[in-house]
Amino acid sequence: MSTTVRKKRKLKKGVKILLVILAIFLLLAAGGQLFIGSMLNKMNKTVAMAQHEAGIAEEVRRTPVNKNIFNFLLFGADRSTVSGDEGMERADATKIISLDKVHKTVKIASLQRDTMVWIPDPVNDFSKLNHAYWWGDADLAIRAVNLNYDMNITKYVTFSMAGLEAMVEAIGGVDIYLTAAESKYFQDGHIKQTNYKEGTFHLSGHEARAYAQLREIDNDYHRMNRQNVLIKTILSQLKDCSVKEILGLVETVMPYIETNFTNAEIELWLTRMLTYDLKNIETQDVPKGDEEDRWTEVEYNGYPYISILRNYEKMIQDLYEFLYGIKDYSISKQAAGIQDDIYQKFADKLK
């Protein structure tokens, strides 16, 4: 790896895990179509999901949204091994990736993992959003997102945190600026000797993964921002890699990716994404705020810190405005019913 790869760069917020996959795919195009097909086959492929299987409300199917906007789900899974192996856990990141085929733009909505939602069959109970992936992999997580957020999504990509660790190792580590609080956490956790000082530190793959998953000193919103910073840093380093280095990196991380996109669909989007504006990606947290959008936290079925929102309807309306530009969206009876059920179920906690 060249020394320029380790060069310090000014970081910007707002770029998500998707960009690692996009960057790999886009640079992979330099290897030729046959090689692309060979590499894509190293991913774990699952069966496509039909709309009637995905928990999509009838009103949502009839909603006149922009048909040139394509959404899929990106899961960042806390998995210790490659895709398809035992050890899949919660989705540390659940993001809606929105691609505008006309304006060539990308938007990313990050769904707060601790939000109280209804998780459908076979669970049929309330819990935090990230439990859907833990209890039923991508299929259950997709249905939970569609049910609770009025989405119409059937496609997904999962990128494991172990894959993120392997990627950072493959590029020789990353330079990340740590705040005083982050530095103290690393020092006390014996992850990195920081001497309690803020500043830029060179992190290994294991340390970068710990950084991306850190929320003990604040909350999940700050963790999502740390993921943004890490991915932006990785992308900056990828830009300085040779084609040979990129192809070696792809070979390393492909086994950590799972998707129900076909190879043909991936190659089609590769071609389209070559013309997209990846430098100006819009992002939004869902819900948009932190304390102001959260009514309270409850413990349920032995799981603490599950967030009940003040207004689930507003959360969905904000999401529709962000993704589609639709203001004052009328949420489905399905989503409204879930909100009412949550408030009724936990009425004693909301006084």
SS3 assignment for 57-79:
CHHHHHCCCCCCEEEEEEEEECC
Tokens describing residue 168: 């950072």
- Structure letter (DSSP) for residue 30: G
Nearest to 281 by CA among 76, 18, 11: 18
Q: Give residue 20's pLDDT.
A: 55
What pLDDT is recorded for position 8? 33
Supply the pLDDT for residue 79.
Answer: 55
The pLDDT of residue 290 is 64
Residue 264 confidence (pLDDT): 87
pLDDT tens-digit map of 120-156: 999 999 999 999 999 999 999 999 999 999 999 999 9
Which range is least confidently modeled, 87-91, 99-103, 168-172, 232-236?
A: 87-91
Average pLDDT over residues 17-26: 53
- Compute the chain's Rg from CA coordinates: 20
Percent of the chain whose predicted confidence (pLDDT) is above 90: 41
pLDDT of residue 36: 64
Lowest model confidence (mean pLDDT) among 199-203, 216-220, 237-241, 283-287: 237-241
Residue 255, pLDDT score: 86
- What confidence tier does 216 reach under pLDDT thresholds 50, 70, 90? confident
CA atoms of 181 and 137, how far apart (whole Å): 34
Cβ burial 315-345 (10 Å sphere, 16+ → b, else e): bbbbbbebbbebeebebbebbbebbeebeeb
pLDDT of residue 13: 33
Helices then strands, counting H and E runs in the chain, come out as: 12, 13
More confident position, 240 or 325: 325
Query: Is a pLDDT exceeding 60 seen at residue 245?
Result: yes
pLDDT of residue 137: 92
pLDDT (tens digit per residue) in 69-109: 999 999 988 654 444 444 445 677 898 999 999 999 989 89
Q: What is the mean pLDDT of residues 6-27?
A: 44
* Average pLDDT of the chain, as a whole number: 82
In terms of C-beta density within 10 A (0-12 exposed, 13-18 middle, 19 or more buried), how is residue 306 classed? buried
pLDDT at 15: 42
pLDDT level of residue 224 (50, 70, 90 thresholds)? confident
| Cα gap 126→128, rounded to integer Å | 7
Supply the pTM of this predicted model: 0.78
| b/e sequence 239-262, b meaning 16+ C-beta within 10 Å | eebeeebbbebbebbbbbbbbbbe
Whether 23 shows a pLDDT value over 90: the answer reads: no
Band (pLDDT 50/70/90 cuts) for residue 24 is: low
The candidate with the shortest Cα–Cα distance to 10, out of 229, 323, 162, is: 229
pLDDT surpassing 70 at residue 4? no
Domains by residue range for the chain, with CATH: 49-154+280-346 (3.30.420.590)
User: Both tokens of residue 262?
Assistant: 């076909």
Instruction: Answer with the residue of higher pLDDT: 167 or 150.
Output: 150
Query: What pLDDT band is residue 294 in, cutting at 50, 70 and 90?
Result: confident
Asked if the model's pLDDT at residue 199 lies above 50, the reply is yes
pLDDT in tens, 29-54: 444 455 566 777 888 899 999 988 99
pLDDT of residue 111: 93
